Amino acid sequence: MRPRDLRAPDPDLRARWDALAVASGAPPFVRPGWLGAWADAFGRADDLRVLTLERGGELVGVLPLLPGPLGLRSPTNHETALFAPVLADDEAAGELADRLLHAGTTVDLAALPTDDPAAAALRAAAHRAGAPSLERPVCASPWIDTTGDPASFLRRLSKNRRHGLRRLRHRMADAGEVVLDVRDGTGDDAGALLDEGFRLEARPWKLAAGSAVLSAPANVRFYTEGARWAAAAGLLRLVHLRVDGRSVAFGYCLRQGDTLYFLKLGMDDELAKLGPGVVLTHHLVDLCCEDPQLARLDLLGDAESYKADLASGTREQVRLQVFGHRLTGAAHRAALASAARLREQAVARLSDDARARLSALRNRWRPGGSRSLTSAR
């Protein structure tokens, strides 16, 4: 791959890239508006490049990348929900993988669904070329099948979970008038709704771990600019669960195609006994079930217990690295694999408090790094 093969995303390319993403059903997180907000917030706007594939003058593939001294990597960090190339078909995935291998450098793609066509094509290309590779799990993101009515969702749950959900909803109803407030972010109050949600999301343990939106100005900028783009694109859903007008839980969501993506959850810890986060999630399930155009509520992030109890399945995400340099690839792979093993062994010996402090330091000082294996929503 030559330097000119990587292009800066000018307005014309962004428009064609976005059209391909919409036509191919790609998730919103790989559309140029969302990735542009990410790059601006985390100081990588000048570095962002894209590898493009064309067929007969038509754009059929786009892979955003960050070139660096160690190779090419995905524009991802601890705030990345999901990453994948935008592809018209499996043939484009194969061509993309071949071009990446021919670059003769390290390719590092994080937050990549393990069953994504590009992941399969890159594994196959590396195997054919004899290029060393390293694949590590990032997370298993739960999702909920919302086809059918709300009653059918409940029937898929265990008896204890059904009773638990009903009990929490009854408790909340006893506390006051419960309203699910869903906004698309186009009103004059969008900023106030976001601020209200960010305060709920900034729970003490998340602030301590550095994973809350309010933990860093860059996070605030990313989710604010991302919301502005998503609102203009018709994707944003700011959801507040209110009891007598008071917001007790917040959801930062994006709706695209047949999926409602649930990125950020906030809740009022003073009302923890009412289970506001679980109740909000159940209300979102009801909302999706009642909309014939929605088939899935994607909970994103890790499979925390409350999400796993409701989930219909999980989407495995990995960090896939291919070491294409003929002279140094094997040594680079061996060094990284050894360092990862030593790090895992060291972390396993730490106390829970020490691990939380380590996570906070990593999030605070490595804003451009790959998504943490223990990142929380």
Strand ranges (E), 176-312 = 178-183, 236-243, 246-256, 259-267, 296-298
Q: What pLDDT does 136 receive? A: 93
Same domain, 241 and 341: no
Q: What pLDDT does 368 receive? A: 38
Same domain, 346 and 259: no
Name residues whose C-beta falls within 8 Å of residue 145's C-beta, 6 or more positions apart in sequence. Answer: 153, 156, 295, 296, 312, 313
Cα gap 307→161, rounded to integer Å: 12
Q: What pLDDT does 370 receive? A: 38
Q: What pLDDT does 104 receive? A: 85
Q: What pLDDT does 17 receive? A: 98
Q: What pLDDT does 3 receive? A: 46
What pTM was estimated for this model as a whole?
A: 0.87
Q: How far is CA 261 from the centre of its chain?
A: 9
Domain of 65, in residue numbers: 3-138+319-365
Residue 267 lies in a domain: yes
Same domain, 77 and 119: yes
Cα gap 84→120, rounded to integer Å: 12
Asked if 72 and 100 count as a contact pair (C-beta separation under 8 A), the reply is yes
Same domain, 275 and 156: yes
Q: What pLDDT does 361 receive? A: 46
Looking at the structure of the chain, the number of domains it has is 2
Cα gap 29→263, rounded to integer Å: 11
Q: What pLDDT does 69 receive? A: 87
Q: What pLDDT does 366 receive? A: 37
Structure tokens at 372: 């943490």
Q: What pLDDT does 335 receive? A: 55
Residue 303 lies in a domain: no
DSSP string, 284-347: HHHHHHT-TT--EEE--S---HHHHHH-SEEEEEEEEEEE--TTTHHHHHHHHHHHHHHHHHHH
Structure tokens at 78: 């601890």
Same domain, 174 and 248: yes
Asked if 76 and 370 count as a contact pair (C-beta separation under 8 A), the reply is yes
CB atoms within 10 A of CB 201: 23
Q: What pLDDT does 373 receive? A: 29
Q: What pLDDT does 209 receive? A: 83
Mean pLDDT for back-to-back runs of 10 residues, the chain (377 residues): 75 98 97 98 97 95 94 95 96 94 92 95 92 92 96 93 94 96 96 97 89 95 98 98 97 98 96 94 97 97 88 96 68 58 63 54 40 36
Q: What is the CATH number of the domain that holds 46?
A: 3.40.630.30
DSSP, res 185: S
